[in-house]
A and B are shown apart, each in its own frame.
Chain A
Amino acid sequence: MNATSLPATADTRRDAADLRADRAFRWLVSAAGVLVLVSLISAALSMLWGGRQAFSRFGLEFFWRDAWNPVLQDFGALVPIYGTLVTALIAMVIAVPISFGIAMFLTEIAPKWLRTPVGAAIELLAGIPSIIYGMWGLFVLVPFLAEHVYPWVDDNLGGIPGIGAVFSGPPLGLGMGTAGLVLAIMVIPFISSVMREVFLTVPGQLKESAYALGSTKTEVVWDVVLPYTRSAVIGGIFLGLGRALGETMAVTFVLGNAHRLTVSLLEPGNSIAATIANEFAEADSPMYLSSLIALGFVLFMVTFVVLTIARLMLRQLKKREGN
């Protein structure tokens, strides 16, 4: 039987219409999917393009020059890059052990009735807009640290030979240390909720067998739960690190916005995100603007690498779950 012998009934006409609609829908959703892909690539390319003047003028030197002088049109990324890395590092040093403690509390220690409310409360911290952290940091935390904490730090730790320089300086309250602390508070909910979730994926039998052998809770978490979830835990930590590197508003409020290279945690500094947020509106020359966008490109690349590592590590556990 060939096609021409068939009369074009209403049914086949509907089939053809369905086919067309199906194809159009498929095309539509594929376009949306590809758009996601394209938007990431074009974000990177557009910033590379926007920063081309800075890159062509300063070359690779852009990354390690500490100059930042809009009047002389002389720009380098070293101070913001340094500030970004130092504040993120401080945040991680505080946030990782605390988050681990919270996750352990929520999965092994706390009584059942307490787990949901405490977990929800910690997650509330993640929902508060970062500008609120910034305001609280500037108006509440900064004066508190300047009055009660930093003078003590300067007096007691500033004199230690070698590392004293890190802890000495005028007690302004603003600075790298404060920014690191605020960042830590902001990333704790992210890291601890990832840790809690992956801890919950550990098979009950595994933990029970360890308990049956007489292990303490500490030993179960450290020797059974943590090895089982290691890659996902590292993924969660990198997720928090990515957040700390790119966080803008909170840091802008408490970092002090000073383009100076200093080892002291008590002195103001700058970060990539804070520099862009503070200075973008007043960038009056193409070279200034281009340098700021070039900074954005650097930030994007750094967070891209960190987030990629985070996702790859988090995926490890999912794969194992699938098997």
Chain B
Amino acid sequence: MSASLYRRRRAKNAIVQLLAVGAAVFGLFWLVWIMWTTLSKGIGAMNLALFTEMTPPPGAEGGGMLNAFFGSMIMSLLGIAIGAPVGVLAGTFLAEYSRNSWIGETVRFVNDILLSAPSIVLGLFVYTLVVAQMGHFSALAGAIALAFIVLPVVVRTTDEMLQLVPTQMREAALSLGVPQWKVIVQVLYRSSMPGIVTGILLALARISGETAPLLFTALNNQYWTTNVLSPMANVPVVIFQYAMSPYENWHSLAWAGAFVLTMFVLLVSLLARYIVLRNKIAHD
């Protein structure tokens, strides 16, 4: 009786462990498949024209994505420039001015919700807020939509990083008669800088692949433009339109764009990880 119970428990354990290994293999399987597809189709479609020519009109041969790369860069940088400073300040508010108060808890909670809110909803929000008011699509509206995605990421990392700074550091600085804002700007920001930079990099990685909020804010533009008040081409929306189109030429451009985008996102997130890791080692 007890021997059979023992055998049953061991058998069950073996099966469950096998299933768990299977689950991990299942997860890795898709990763490998998706990466392989992006690599093989993307490298095959790479050429110099991709970085030197504009997006082609329907049916035309050749062409590249120069205007889209440029537009993505402008909008991502603008999104970071708008979202990150506000995020750092709001994170400071949470960590330094409202610890354990109801308003701090509420803001933190709302920020967590914003962090996982669907990006298409933020796009619609910016559409009604900016595009509908201005009367036309613009790169600026796109950047504002991206800034709303940057904001919660930076708030969260700033909040967490500042909370990691030992209280003694604040006390030491304050006891020297340094005013609180200087303690925060010159002491606390300095010691939590790697963490904050990591947060900004993670936000950059996230917004550079965002498509949905740009569909109805920045829209797209087949031509070269540097005017942030006009519609601007950007990599994700170009990939979306070209992949959905019936033209072979456009498909291969979309794959090349997807490859560059994926590599960029992976590199930025690796860099973010590296900064955290290096900092951790320095502290140990």
Q: How far is B1's CA from A33's CA once the two chains are assembled, in angstroms?
A: 64
Chain A residues closer than 8 Å to B209, beta-carbon distance:
128-132
B127 to chain A, nearest CB (A): 8
A73 to chain B, nearest CB (A): 20
Interface residues of B in 206-224 (CB under 8 A from A): 208-212, 215-216, 219
Among A30, A138, A219, the residue within 8 A (CB) of B243 is A138
Q: By the criterion CB–CB under 8 Å, are A132 and B125 in contact?
A: no
Interface residues of A in 8-25 (CB under 8 A from B): 18-19, 21-22, 24-25
Chain B facing A: main interface SS: helix
Chain B residues closer than 8 Å to A252, beta-carbon distance:
240
Return the CB mask of B238-259 against A: 1 if under 8 Å, else 0.
0110011000000100110010
**For the complex, is B197 an interface residue (Cβ under 8 Å from A)?**
no
**For the complex, is B80 an interface residue (Cβ under 8 Å from A)?**
no
Interface size on A, residues (CB 8 A): 88
Q: By the criterion CB–CB under 8 Å, are B114 and A132 in contact?
A: no
Which residue from chain A places its CB closest to the CB of B236 in the assembled complex? Answer: A131
Chain B residues closer than 8 Å to A243, beta-carbon distance:
116
Q: How far is B152's CA from A37's CA once the two chains are assembled, in angstroms?
A: 11
Known: A129-B236, A216-B12, A277-B212. A135 touches B243 (CB 8 A): yes
A223 to chain B, nearest CB (A): 12
Interface residues of B in 176-233 (CB under 8 A from A): 179-182, 184-185, 205, 208-212, 215-216, 219
Chain B residues closer than 8 Å to A185, beta-carbon distance:
30, 34
B2 to chain A, nearest CB (A): 12
Q: How far is B122's CA from A105's CA once the two chains are assembled, in angstroms?
A: 36
Q: By the criterion CB–CB under 8 Å, are B89 and A124 in contact?
A: no
B61 to chain A, nearest CB (A): 21
Q: How far is B169's CA from A8's CA once the two chains are assembled, in angstroms?
A: 32
**For the complex, is A228 an interface residue (Cβ under 8 Å from B)?**
no
| Most chain A CB atoms below 10 A, which of B21, B30, B127, B216 | B30
Number of A-B contacts (CB under 8 A): 257
Q: By the criterion CB–CB under 8 Å, are B28 and A136 in contact?
A: no
A95 to chain B, nearest CB (A): 10
Return the CB mask of B1-32 against A: 1 if under 8 Å, else 0.
00000000110110011011111101110110
Q: How far is B184's CA from A28's CA once the two chains are assembled, in angstroms?
A: 13
Interface residues of B in 24-44 (CB under 8 A from A): 24, 26-28, 30-31, 33-34, 37-38, 41
Among B23, B92, B262, the residue within 8 A (CB) of A100 is B23
Which residue from chain A places its CB closest to the CB of B239 in the assembled complex? Answer: A131
Chain A residues closer than 8 Å to B51, beta-carbon distance:
none
Q: By the criterion CB–CB under 8 Å, are B13 and A43 in contact?
A: no
Chain A residues closer than 8 Å to B117, beta-carbon distance:
40, 43, 246, 300, 303-304, 307
Q: How far is B13's CA from A32's CA once the two chains are assembled, in angstroms?
A: 52
Q: By the criterion CB–CB under 8 Å, are B23 and A105 in contact?
A: yes
Q: By the criterion CB–CB under 8 Å, are B34 and A129 in contact?
A: no
Among A36, A127, A273, the residue within 8 A (CB) of B265 is A127
A189 to chain B, nearest CB (A): 8
- Among B52-60, B62-70, B102-110, which stretch is in contact with chain A? B102-110
**For the complex, is B96 an interface residue (Cβ under 8 Å from A)?**
yes
Q: By the criterion CB–CB under 8 Å, are B118 and A50 in contact?
A: no
Q: How far is B260's CA from A26's CA once the two chains are assembled, in angstroms?
A: 42
Q: How far is B140's CA from A13's CA once the two chains are assembled, in angstroms?
A: 43
Which residue from chain B places its CB closest to the CB of A38 in the assembled complex? Answer: B110
Chain A residues closer than 8 Å to B216, beta-carbon distance:
280-281
B140 to chain A, nearest CB (A): 17
**For the complex, is A90 an interface residue (Cβ under 8 Å from B)?**
no
Q: By the criterion CB–CB under 8 Å, are B262 and A128 in contact?
A: yes
> Which 9 A-B residue pairings sit nearest by Cβ, starting from the closest?
A129-B209, A246-B118, A101-B23, A32-B89, A33-B93, A25-B181, A216-B13, A32-B90, A29-B93
Given A33-B97, A132-B262, 11 more A-B residue pairs with CB atoms under 8 Å apart are: A22-B181, A33-B89, A33-B107, A50-B128, A98-B27, A125-B34, A128-B262, A128-B265, A129-B208, A129-B262, A277-B120
Question: Could you tell me which B residues sit within 8 Å of A by CB distance?
Answer: 9-10, 12-13, 16-17, 19-24, 26-28, 30-31, 33-34, 37-38, 41, 86-87, 89-90, 92-94, 96-98, 103-104, 106-107, 109-114, 116-122, 124-125, 127-129, 132, 148, 151-152, 155, 179-182, 184-185, 205, 208-212, 215-216, 219, 236, 239-240, 243-244, 251, 254-255, 258, 261-262, 265-266, 269
User: Can you list 30 A-B contacts (CB < 8 A)?
Assistant: A26-B97, A32-B93, A33-B94, A33-B98, A39-B151, A40-B117, A47-B121, A50-B124, A99-B23, A101-B21, A101-B26, A108-B20, A129-B208, A130-B211, A131-B240, A132-B258, A133-B34, A139-B37, A188-B27, A189-B27, A216-B10, A242-B118, A246-B119, A247-B118, A248-B212, A249-B236, A293-B124, A299-B118, A304-B113, A307-B113
Question: Could you tell me which A residues sit within 8 Å of B by CB distance?
Answer: 18-19, 21-22, 24-26, 28-37, 39-40, 42-43, 46-47, 49-50, 97-102, 104-106, 108-110, 118, 121-122, 124-125, 127-136, 138-140, 185, 188-189, 192, 216-219, 239, 242-243, 245-249, 252-253, 273, 276-277, 280-281, 293, 296, 299-300, 303-304, 307-308, 310-311
